[in-house]
Homo-oligomer: A and B are copies of this chain.
Amino acid sequence: MTKSKTPIWRSIQSSLTREIADGILVSGDKLPTEAELAIRFGVNRHTVRHALGAMAEDGLVHARRGAGVFVTGKPTDYPIGKRVRFHQNIRAAGQMPAKTRLQLATRRPSPREAKALQIEPDDQVHCYEGLSLADAVPIAIFRSIFPAERFPDLLEALDELDAVTAALKKCGLDDYTRISTRLTARLADATQAGHLRISQGAPILRSEGVNADSDGVPVEYGTTWFSGDRVTLTLRDDA
C-alpha cells in the first residue's frame, strides 16, 4: 500500500509552484486548462482545482472565469511606510515601473477631500489620477488630491514630470511624510476592473493616506486601489 503522507493536491501544488519559481511559467502566463492538468497529473479535475485554489490563496495565480488560470504578475510585495515612493518600490522588487496618466485637472473638492486636506469646501484642488504598472501589468489606480491654493503651479509641474515627489519639489516642497494610512478591502467596479484588467467584482485593496509637510500641514490626500490578486502590501517599520 502506498500510504503517501502528503495529499495529492499538495504535491501538484508543489509541482506547479516550482515551475513558477523556476521561471518555466512567468508572470502573466496562462496555465494549462484544469482539464489538461488533470490528464497530465492523472487525477480528477477536482484535485487540480484544490491545488490551484491553494495557490490562489497564496496569491501565486489567479483564475478568471471563462479565461483560464494565470500566473500572478509576481507576488509583488509592495512596501508601505512613512514614505511611499512608487518607482523606488517597484524597482526594489526588480520590476520595471511605469505610469499612465488618466486625469489631470483642477476642480472643487468633495467633502471628504476637503476634510482630509483641512481646506474649505470652496477652495480648489488639483486632481492627479493614473495607473501604476510593473512590467507593463497594471498594479494599481491612484488618485492624488492637492490643495491648489498652496501649489498653484503643480498642475504644469505634474504635466511635464509625471512624478509626484519631483513635481512637489518644483513647487517648493522639499519633503513630506505620511501621517495617516487607512486600508480596507473592496470589490472592483466596472471602471476599476477595466483599468486594472481584472474582472468586475475582483478584490481590491484600497489604501487611503494623507501626506503632510514637516509642519504637519496636509499637502496630499491620496487613494490607491491595488489589485488584490497582484499586490501584497508589506508593512515596514521604517524610519
Binding site for B on A (CB under 8 A): 14, 57-59, 77, 80, 82, 111-112, 180-187, 201-205, 226, 228, 231-235, 237
Contact = CB atoms under 8 A, between A and B. Distances in A.
B235 A77 contact: no
Nearest to A80: B235
B183 A233 contact: yes
Given A82-B237, A112-B58, A77 B203 contact: no
A185 B201 contact: no
A50 to B, nearest CB: 13
Contacts of A235: 80, 180-183, 235
B203 A234 contact: no
Contacts of A201: 187, 201
Contacts of A57: 186
A144 B206 CA distance: 25
A203 B232 contact: no
B231 A184 contact: yes
Determine how many copies of this chain the complex contains. 2
**Majority secondary structure, A binding face:** strand
B181 A232 contact: no
Nearest to A238: B237
Contacts of A180: 234-235
A184 B237 contact: no
Nearest to A186: B203
The 10 tightest CB contacts between A and B, nearest first, are: A185-B228, A185-B203, A185-B205, A181-B235, A185-B185, A183-B233, A184-B232, A182-B232, A182-B234, A187-B203
Contacts of A231: 184
Given A58-B112, A182-B235, A187-B203, 18 more contacts: A77-B182, A180-B234, A180-B235, A181-B234, A182-B232, A182-B234, A183-B183, A183-B233, A184-B205, A184-B231, A184-B233, A185-B203, A185-B205, A186-B228, A187-B202, A203-B228, A205-B205, A235-B235
A14 B115 CA distance: 14
